[in-house]
A and B are shown apart, each in its own frame.
Chain A
Amino acid sequence: MAKNSWHRLLAATTELNITGIDRAAGPAGGRAAAEHGTGWGWERTRPGNPHGNSSPEHGGTRVQLLGLPSATRARMNVGTAHSEVNPNTRVMNSRGIWLSYVLGIGLLHVVLLSIPFFSVPVVWTLTNIIHNLSMYIFLHTVKGTPFETPDQGKARLLTHWEQMDYGVQFTASRKFLTIMPIVLYFLTSFYTKYDRIHFVINTISLMSVLIPKLPQLHGVRIFGINKY
């Protein structure tokens, strides 16, 4: 028994999946992934497993050795108040963030309204454009996490939108962040009195922020833009 576990430790740290477990994990992994929604785009890791699960169907375990300089300790979740492998996935579910988000948009709008040169329709269009541009940059362009995670960088190539809730689709936060630009678009269309030029600009801006949120585009990089 000790020998078996030692063997597994050795195999895990060198990331060799010598046993046939990995192959057998395929169908089970696929079925489970279908239950949870689509998983990560790039890496075929199991969604909904913040504990870094080492179930038999998952195959090799991701293990970090016990050499303990402080960088390694940070990577091993030592001294944390949660067992979340990637805290970025839970940020959008935190208490108060939806309210802060709405207040942020309100603040932006008020600041723009206080500039004397812009008329109300222009201000609304500007709010819409700046909001959608910021959302595109922070949710769909910036990749990875601003801190090191103990999972050896599974999320390095994923944007924040793809990281949310470990890739599970149609969660509450995802729905909220999809609906917000649409609501803003309605308000903007009303306040610009459906003028043609404003309509074209606002619609293009809305599309640019809605299309990346589609589940079919999870992990997709068109023409290799923003791949690495």
Chain B
Amino acid sequence: QCRLNVLITNFCSVSFFPQKNGISNGTLYKKTFIEHFEQAPMYVAVFTFVGFAVGTIFGYLRDFMRAWGLEKRNIAAEREQQKDFVPLYQDFENFYTRNLYLRIRDNWNRPICSVPGPQFDLMERVTDDYNWTFRFTGRTIRNVINMGSYNYLGFAETDVNALKTVTIELKKYGTGVCSTRQEMGTLDKHVELEKLVAKFLGVEDAMVFGMGFATNSMNIPALVGKGCLILSDELNHTSLVLGARLSGATIRIFKHNNMQSLEKLLRDAIIHGQPRTHRAWRKIIILVEGIYSMEGSIVRLPEIVSLKNKYKAYLYLDEAHSIGAVGATGRGVVEYFGMSPDDVDVLMGTFTKSFGAAGGYIAGKKGLVDFLRTHSHSAVYATSMCPAVAEQIIRAMKCLMGLDGTTQGLQRVRQLEKNTRYFRRKLHEMGFIIYGNDDSPVVPLLLYMPGKIGAFARRMLEKNIGVVVVGFPATPITESRARFCVSAAHTREMLDTVLNALDELGDFLHLKYSRYSKSSHPELYEESRLELED
């Protein structure tokens, strides 16, 4: 009864590692693919429900006391004249917000007042009435270690030398474009950027958009419509879901990263066709992400590509979190798996995470991109990207590709890889339950119980570390988590500080539920061999 879900996939049935001599024929994966989704012991789930039950009972008690005047009401109330009308809002719909979220509300929406680099400054906030209102004391908490920003390559920086070209372009073009791409909003900067993106990814052409979310939600409707079928992963981001729903195509969902589920859906779609008429689908498109930001898992790209080739479907890959963050030179999951960009039909990504800018791109064959230039909603109705932001992306990408004459880009990618491996390995050794792939810089650490969410975030802030925590209803009820985003800008000392703090906090809050930890006292901080131990 092994409760550990360690998925080690390699299509060669015998060996654990890829074959060392010659060509590995018959293997889809060129290196081992290890993902963890360990389940905590059953008592943890029981205590989680006890926590929610106690919270609910106290919530009802406090609501009762507030309704009968035994406790001060801090929330907006109806006027006397409105009391006899049917209420506009159901107060039960705010039950969770009032009684559970509000109590730990000080852990979200914290205003920062510096660049979100590896460290940032926080405006100090206190509350006099248990999080109903906040008040700024005027002080700043300096140099809080940032474990929440999507700053994978560390390009969120204010170094004047690095931003020199950006300042020049800002002075030359100003801040606003004030037009859409199809009217007067296509600048030479956009053309330069698009050529660079295409060169970076190794595709024929690319198009950039001003907003990352809008790249998905405005372009999927242009690519598919009624009579088409979208097969979308369970955990896809809202932008993909919204784009899929706006398009009017039929949506079917397959289980997260589960290739059997996807294959079954593909076979059913091709065999049975459209629901009532049984005509063939006009197009079948598979929507997946490179790295899923809440689980830290990486898509099984080789299998999906072989499925798509077998069943003649199209593939749309959203590399929002994976472009720049995985791959030997930072070119995303396509490079990570050693595949060619021609295997993926539509490569989409955003510049917000690894490039420290804003906006998104879609890349692929020239015919596809030309089609999008005419038919995309963004091109017709949305303002194009600001030229200073475009310049930031250009300089970041040039740095990454080595075109600025230094090896800084490659160093950043290597540093991120090292940091990711180190951080994940140490957390595993300490005995925490971590989700996701061993190579993904997104590290969700499971907290499980609702009380621990608030305690964890507050104590980490006391130790000067800023983390992102998330609980029910944004996660399944038993799987509240803290999500760390490792950055190339984090130094070894910063990571050690965070790891020490986590070690202490893990013992204090009893978070070390893993039953497969290698050693519970990592006294030595040296790099041991990274092979799998038996």
Interface residues of A (CB under 8 A from B): 1-2, 4-6, 8-9, 12, 28, 50-57, 61-64, 66, 70, 76-83, 87-88, 90-91, 94-97, 99-100, 103-104, 142-148, 153, 156, 228
Are B45 and A95 interface neighbours, CB within 8 A? Answer: yes
CB distance from B82 to the nearest CB of A (A): 17
* Chain B residues near A70 (CB-CB < 8 A): 109
CB distance from B220 to the nearest CB of A (A): 9
* Bound Cα distance from A62 to B244, whole angstroms: 12
* Bound Cα distance from A50 to B248, whole angstroms: 16
Can you pick out 9 interface pairs between chain A and chain B where the beta carbons lie within 8 Å of each other? Answer: A2-B377, A51-B241, A66-B217, A81-B235, A82-B475, A83-B235, A94-B45, A94-B49, A144-B93
Are B214 and A66 interface neighbours, CB within 8 A? Answer: yes
* Chain B residues near A81 (CB-CB < 8 A): 235, 294-295, 470, 474-476, 479, 481
**A1-B375, A79-B470, A81-B294 as given contacts; A96 in contact with B42, CB under 8 Å:** yes
CB distance from A58 to the nearest CB of B (A): 9
Q: Which residue of B lies closest to A96 (CB)?
A: B45
* Bound Cα distance from A81 to B242, whole angstroms: 16
Residues facing A in B214-247 (CB within 8 A) are 214, 217, 221-222, 225-227, 232, 234-236, 238, 241-242, 244-247
**B174 on the A face (CB < 8 A):** no
Are A148 and B222 interface neighbours, CB within 8 A? Answer: no
* Chain A residues near B234 (CB-CB < 8 A): 82-83
* Bound Cα distance from A54 to B226, whole angstroms: 10
Are B97 and A147 interface neighbours, CB within 8 A? Answer: yes
Are B232 and A76 interface neighbours, CB within 8 A? Answer: no
Instruction: Tell which of B50, B235, B476, B478 has the most Cβ of chain A within 10 Å.
Output: B476
CB distance from B515 to the nearest CB of A (A): 16
Partner of A96, one of B86, B94, B95, B478: B478
Partner of B478, one of A95, A153, A156: A95
* Chain A residues near B13 (CB-CB < 8 A): none
**A57-B276, A81-B474 as given contacts; A96 in contact with B49, CB under 8 Å:** yes
**B495 on the A face (CB < 8 A):** no
Q: Please name the 6 residue pairs, one residue from A and one from B, whose CB atoms are nearest each other, closest first.
A: A96-B45, A81-B294, A146-B95, A5-B221, A146-B96, A100-B49
Are B377 and A94 interface neighbours, CB within 8 A? Answer: no
Instruction: Tell which of A12, A66, A81, A103 has the most Cβ of chain B within 10 Å.
Output: A81
* Chain A residues near B235 (CB-CB < 8 A): 81-83
* Chain A residues near B275 (CB-CB < 8 A): 28, 55-57
Q: Which residue of A lies closest to B377 (CB)?
A: A2
**A63-B242, A83-B253, A94-B45 as given contacts; A147 in contact with B93, CB under 8 Å:** yes
* Bound Cα distance from A142 to B475, whole angstroms: 23
Partner of A87, one of B95, B222, B477: B477
* Chain B residues near A148 (CB-CB < 8 A): 93-94, 97
* Bound Cα distance from A29 to B258, whole angstroms: 28
**B138 on the A face (CB < 8 A):** no
Chain B interface size range: 35 or more
**B48 on the A face (CB < 8 A):** yes
Interface residues of B (CB under 8 A from A): 39, 42, 44-46, 48-50, 53, 86, 90, 92-97, 109, 213-214, 217, 221-222, 225-227, 232, 234-236, 238, 241-242, 244-251, 253, 275-276, 294-295, 375-377, 380, 470, 472-479, 481
Partner of A54, one of B95, B227, B251: B251
Are A53 and B250 interface neighbours, CB within 8 A? Answer: yes
CB distance from A142 to the nearest CB of B (A): 7
* Chain B residues near A76 (CB-CB < 8 A): 238, 242
Are B93 and A146 interface neighbours, CB within 8 A? Answer: yes
**A51-B253, A56-B250 as given contacts; A80 in contact with B475, CB under 8 Å:** yes
Are B42 and A1 interface neighbours, CB within 8 A? Answer: no
Are B245 and A54 interface neighbours, CB within 8 A? Answer: yes
Partner of B251, one of A53, A96, A99, A145: A53
Are B380 and A2 interface neighbours, CB within 8 A? Answer: yes
* Chain B residues near A28 (CB-CB < 8 A): 275-276
Are A51 and B221 interface neighbours, CB within 8 A? Answer: no
Are B92 and A142 interface neighbours, CB within 8 A? Answer: yes
Are A79 and B93 interface neighbours, CB within 8 A? Answer: no
Q: Which residue of B lies closest to A85 (CB)?
A: B241
**A83-B253, A146-B93 as given contacts; A77 in contact with B49, CB under 8 Å:** no
Are A147 and B96 interface neighbours, CB within 8 A? Answer: yes
**A28-B275, A54-B248 as given contacts; A4 in contact with B225, CB under 8 Å:** yes
Beyond the given pairs A8-B246, A90-B476, A146-B92, 15 more chain A to chain B contacts, judged by CB atoms under 8 angstroms and listed by A's residue number, are A5-B221, A5-B247, A12-B246, A54-B248, A54-B251, A56-B248, A61-B248, A76-B242, A79-B470, A81-B294, A81-B481, A87-B477, A96-B44, A97-B45, A148-B97
Instruction: Tell which of A76, A94, A228 has the most Cβ of chain B within 10 Å.
Output: A94
Instruction: Tell which of A50, A61, A142, A146 has the most Cβ of chain B within 10 Å.
Output: A146
* Bound Cα distance from A45 to B236, whole angstroms: 23
CB distance from A36 to the nearest CB of B (A): 14
* Bound Cα distance from A4 to B245, whole angstroms: 14
Are A82 and B476 interface neighbours, CB within 8 A? Answer: yes
Are A145 and B294 interface neighbours, CB within 8 A? Answer: no
Q: Which residue of A lies closest to B244 (CB)?
A: A54
Q: Which residue of B lies closest to A53 (CB)?
A: B251
* Chain B residues near A66 (CB-CB < 8 A): 213-214, 217, 242
* Bound Cα distance from A8 to B129, whole angstroms: 47
* Chain A residues near B86 (CB-CB < 8 A): 228
* Bound Cα distance from A83 to B474, whole angstroms: 9
CB distance from B443 to the nearest CB of A (A): 14
Q: Which residue of A lies closest to B220 (CB)?
A: A5
**A81-B235, A82-B234 as given contacts; A1 in contact with B222, CB under 8 Å:** yes
* Bound Cα distance from A69 to B280, whole angstroms: 41
Are A103 and B225 interface neighbours, CB within 8 A? Answer: no
* Bound Cα distance from A144 to B86, whole angstroms: 17
CB distance from A168 to the nearest CB of B (A): 16
* Bound Cα distance from A169 to B261, whole angstroms: 24
* Chain A residues near B238 (CB-CB < 8 A): 76-78, 80
Q: Which residue of B lies closest to A60 (CB)?
A: B248
